[in-house]
Structure formats: C-alpha cells, structure tokens
Amino acid sequence: MAKLKFPIVIKLLLMNQLTNLKSFPSVSRRTILKLLTIGATTGLLGYTRFSKPQPTVFTQDNLDLPQYLNNYKSVVVVGGGLAGLACAYELTQRGFTVTLLERSPQLGGKIASWPVNIGGEKFIMEHGFHGFFPQYYNLNSLVEELNITDNFQSLEFYSVVFREGKYNPEVFHPSSSAFPWNIVDLAISSSNRFSWGINLAKSKHWEVFRAIGGFQLEKTYQKFDNLSVAEWVEKDFPQGLYDLYFLPFAKSSLNSPNKLSVAELMQFFHFYFFGNPEGLAFNGTRQDMGTSLVQPIAQEIENKGGKIFTDVGVSKINWQNNKINSIIYQLGEEKSLIPFWVERNLEINQEEVNYFGSSDRLFAIKPNSDEAISLTCTHQGCSVTLAEDGNFYCPCHGAVYDIKGKVLAGPAKRDLSRYRITQTRENKVQLVSIKENKSEILSTEIKADYYVFATDVPGVQHLFNMMEGEVNQNVKSQVQKLHIADPFAVCRFWFDRDFDWQHSNFTSLSGYQLTDSITLYHRIQEQFIQWHEKTGGSVVELHAYCYKEKEFPTQEILLTTFAKELYKIVPELREANLLHRELVNQKNFSGYPPGSYQQRPETNSGISNLMFAGDWVKMPFPCGLMERATSSGLLAANEILSREGLQRRKLLSVNPEGIIKI
C-alpha cells in the first residue's frame, strides 16, 4: 500500500509547493509541467521516506577467523597520511610489528598541522578546513574506537554563495532523506529551483538525471570515463544545475572541470548525495587536525608497539625474486642527499633563469649552469621571487636573499638551499643537495614481510625511481601514469577586528577567479575562538581548490589575488589592520582525468609483498577525499590480514549503486 500511495504523496508535496507560485506571476505552464514531470518520475522510483537505505557492508568475513596474529610478522608502511596511519593502526591492533616512515617532519599528509609564531604567540596551522561527513563510515569508526568523538562538532549547516547575486545562496541542512526524496527536499527548499534549467523532455537533460541517479561503478566508468566534465556540460546542459551544484562539487574534489572525468564526478555525487542516507551535513574539528585526529591515531599505533619515524628519505628499494627485499632510508637533513627529479615549469617565463617544480617546491637554474637554487624561503616555506635588482624576495614575511641564496634581510636565519644537477632529460632535471660540510651519510636498511606504499602521487612515483634490481615494469608503468591535479592554495589572514557574516562559518564560494571557499576560524576552532575573545580580532581563511598555474604562476600573485577577493567578499575588512597571513600552496593532490580509471593501481599491486594505499588507488566502492584515503589504508591492511588467515576488518560504504538503470 505504501508504494501505491507514494506517487500521490510526491504529487501532494509538489502541488503544495506549487500553491506558493501565486506570488510568481511570471512562472509559465511549462515550468509547472517540468515540476510535475519530476514528481511523476520520482514517484515511479518506488521509494518512501520510511525505507531509507542503510550503510552497505562491503567487507565482512563469514567464517569465524582468528582476530590476532600468533606469530611474528613485520610490515613497513611508507607514508604517514590518513591512508598510512589507518593501515598501520589496524595492523598494530592485530599484532603485527609495524614501522611507519614519513618524509615530512609532521604526520598527517594533507591533514598535517604545524606551529607558527605570530606576534610572540604560537598558533597551529594546517592545510585548510576539512569537513567530516556522516557517510565517512570507516573514518568515523576509527574516531569511535579511539574514543575521540568529542574532538569534533557539528557545523549545523553550510552555504554556497554566488558572486554578484547571480543566484541566491544555497543552504544545506542535515537531512536523512534518501534519493530521490533529497532531490524533492532540495527543490522545495532552494530559492534557485526555477533557475536549475532542467527539462526532462530534453534527451540531454534526461541523460544527466539518469547519470547522477544511476551510478554503477563499472558501467558508469565505462560510459563516462573518457569524457571531461567541461566537455560534458559544453552543449545543451542545464546551466543553473551546473553553476549551482556541478561546478562547486567538481572543484571540491580538488580537480578542475576540464581535467576531471565525468565518471569520477558521478562517483563523487553518488557518494556525497545520491547514494547515502545522511544528507549534506558535516562536522569540523574543535582543534587543528593534528591535535584532533592525527596525534590520537599515531599515539595508539605507538601504544601497540609500532614505530614511527618522520623526516625520513628513502634512498633505495632493493628487489629480489620479483618482490621487495629491503628499503634503505636516512633520517633528518641527510635525506637531502638523495637525488630527486623535478619537471620544467613552463608557466613561469624569465629569460635570465629557468624554473623547475611548482607551488611550494620550486627551483631556479640559470642557463648553462650545473647548479639549482631552491626558492623555498627558509623562514616559513613560502616561495621567493627574483626581482629586477637580482635578489630574491619572500612575498609572505619579507625575507631577502642574494642571487647565491645568502640571507640579506628579514626573519629568515638560513640561506636558500643549493643543489647540483646530476642528470638532465627532456624538460626535467635530477637534483641532489650540495652540502658545505659533507659528513658520513647514516643509512638504515629495513626488511619486512610486507610493504605498504601509502604516499601521495609524487611520493609513490619517487619510490619507484629509487628501486634497484628486477623491478616489475608493469606495476612501475601503472604508477608512473598516475596524475597530479592542478595546485591548491590556502591563505589564512589575522585581522584586528571582527565582521558581520550571515552565512555558514564554512562557506563555499562560486564565481571568483581564485577563491572557492571561506572559513571563519575564530568561530570554529577553540584556539582562535580564545584569541578572538581576548583581542576582538578575526581569523579568516580562503581556499583555492584547483587553480591554473598559468593564471597564478607565483605565490606573490596568489597572495595579491586572495587579498583582493577577500575584500570583495568581506568589504568591512578593508578598514581592518592585517596582522599576519600564512600561505599554504602545494601540488600533490591526486588527479582523476578522463581515461585514467582502468590503468589506476589497485590495493593488491600484483607483487606478493607490496600493497598500495592512498586516494589514487582504484577503489571498489564509492568514497571521496578523507574517507577514500582512510578506506584505502584499511583495504591494504585487510589484504595482509587475509593472507595471514585473519579476520578482515568490516568496511562500510554508501549504497554502491543508484536506483536508476543506465
């Protein structure tokens, strides 16, 4: 009976909404018919609000297998981001001897935190705001096991605000309505519903509806993976739908629409909206990500006997009998003596110098020189720029260096690093650090039963460049074909006053040249709330998810553009005093361009003792961002557990398929 009544309920809801149209005399009959068409189509889907889907169990062993290891087995995990931490956590819980190696001084990867000193006061900086969604089932299960749920708080709602009033702000609230009811609710609540531009009588519009409501992993990638989002929406696409939802969603995947596979966007949509029963609500951390999440995971790994080393450089990976035999690494500054490759940056053009690398890892080489100089400021990591007087200037805090990299002025205490060019290939060079006082390199060799590579894309490609012996060329080729997305940037500002803000404390922004979101940290995180209460100031962060290097080739241009756009977003701040700013600028997010799905590596690398983890790994169920990284790490742990005859961890996902058949 419920199914028979369902279309009537839908129609009643829509008719109730349509009764409000009397105040809109310009609404056409065609528009009303469109809404009724949506209602009738939705009714045929056969769902009710009272039968919302539950999380799907992806992995669950039916056999009653042992939980814990009863003999000695060792694992080396390379990479201390969420993927590596999740993998190491699960394996140490099961009795494995785990060593985790992280290249950076801080654990966490893209959610790492580090201290900065501002006016004699210490603050914790991070890689931008992160939201924790209810459908992050596997990440949230770790949070519950660690008993750190109090480290998180609901942000209640969030907004998408469009520049210059092209659309009214979209506001998303917590909801438990499953598809298609969430679409109906969205249509009813959205003041932009008549701007969506949907007409299901058009074949292209119906194709869009089928695609977003009918996600099926293999079929969707088979049909849409060879097409970019920009190409897909180029002709006869509902413009309002693209502006309001597709563009913000696409960019929040950290991939620009011209480089993002349509299939990947459909997977992203399905995971965050169409395939889960939780709606678009999320939590934020009460403190920085390192304090709230990374440190508790690391502490539990060490409590279970795991060893963690940061500031590590892997210099050699030995192969024997078609598997990894050992890894050689160095600690601390000695890791800079490990050769590494950087590609030519063609977006920065100056006749007197060639540039290699990008974002926060940029190098300058004079023509015909056998040396390179790092442009990473030794103060707080911004990229310095070459001025007409021949000196390098830091755009963030005023450090000045001469052409040899020697500190001339400003807060920096150490000279810029210099490197020797050891090899040259087309559009890239291999560099190795020049040490003034060469000392004996202290290397450590480690052997294990299993190895897990859980780095970012540049990291795993570097690892395969460090391999010696009979390396599996098929796997190496897969890794070398991985893609990196356009760079992202975060700029955090400290001001001496607050301002009125009617939107959410984290708000997505659309229509700006650079800025994609704004976060009011003095209203979210405790350290900044306390500073605000003491000083009356504000801490505001702008985030650019995937900007084009050609448009913003230097950090100086990034900083200038961020500041201009901030004053347009919050005009009141034009009269405020800027106390400090911090820039984070990197190019290491995974790219998902058209045609990349089939060749993407899986958890099981095909090498008997090597597993892969990271958001670049081909996933067997829908997931995104932090949940993708966490789930990939737990899948790698499960692969090892299975090989040792142990019970695998139960993993959850959203409903793996949409309800419309494509």
Q: What is the pLDDT of residues 425-441, one digit of tens each?
A: 888 999 998 875 555 56
Say yes or no to pLDDT of 101 above 90: yes
Q: Tokens 């917590």 label which residue?
A: 174
Say yes or no to pLDDT of 17 above 50: no
pLDDT of 336 reads 64
- pLDDT confidence bin for 242, thresholds 50/70/90: confident
Measured distance CA(428)–CA(355) in Å, rounded: 10
Secondary structure (DSSP) of 135-201: T-HHHHHHHHHTT-GGGEEE---EEEEEGGGSSPPEEE-B--PPTTHHHHHHHHH-TTGGGS---TT
Measured distance CA(42)–CA(270) in Å, rounded: 17
Strands 323-331 and 312-320: antiparallel
- pLDDT confidence bin for 82, thresholds 50/70/90: very high
Lowest-confidence pick of 111-120, 219-228, 296-305: 111-120
Strands 312-320 and 467-468: parallel
Average pLDDT over residues 442-467: 94
Measured distance CA(265)–CA(246) in Å, rounded: 8
Residue pair 629/142 in contact (Cβ under 8 Å)? The answer is no
Average pLDDT over residues 114-125: 89
Tokens representing residue 351 in the block? 């006749």
Say yes or no to pLDDT of 59 above 80: no
pLDDT of 20 reads 40
Q: How many helices (H) and strands (E) does the chain have?
A: 18, 34
Say yes or no to pLDDT of 386 above 90: no
Say yes or no to pLDDT of 50 above 60: no
Range with the largest mean pLDDT of 243-247, 292-296, 652-656: 292-296
Write b or e for each residue in 247-285: b if 16 or more Cβ atoms lie within 10 A of its Cβ, otherwise e: bbbbbbbbbbbebbbbbbbbbbbbbbbbbbbbbbbbbbb
Measured distance CA(528)–CA(525) in Å, rounded: 6
- pLDDT confidence bin for 381, thresholds 50/70/90: confident
pLDDT tens string 150-181: 999 998 888 999 987 789 998 887 776 666 67
Question: How confident is the prediction for the chain on average, in pLDDT?
Answer: 86
pLDDT of 436 reads 57
Where is pLDDT greater, at 174 or 38?
174
- pLDDT confidence bin for 570, thresholds 50/70/90: very high
pLDDT of 334 reads 57
CA distances from 304 to 72, 94, 298, 301, 310 (A): 14, 9, 10, 5, 18
Measured distance CA(50)–CA(1) in Å, rounded: 13
Strands 610-612 and 450-453: parallel
Say yes or no to pLDDT of 36 above 50: no
pLDDT of 662 reads 63
Give the sign of the dihedral formed by CA 257, CA 259, CA 260, CA 263. Answer: positive
Measured distance CA(463)–CA(480) in Å, rounded: 11
Report which DSSP code applies to 109: G
pLDDT tens string 499-553: 999 999 999 999 999 999 999 999 999 999 999 999 999 999 999 999 999 999 8
Average pLDDT over residues 103-107: 90
Average pLDDT over residues 339-367: 84
pLDDT tens string 192-227: 888 888 887 788 888 888 888 889 999 999 999 999
pLDDT of 40 reads 46
pLDDT of 24 reads 38
pLDDT of 13 reads 38
pLDDT of 186 reads 77
Where is pLDDT greater, at 235 or 76?
76
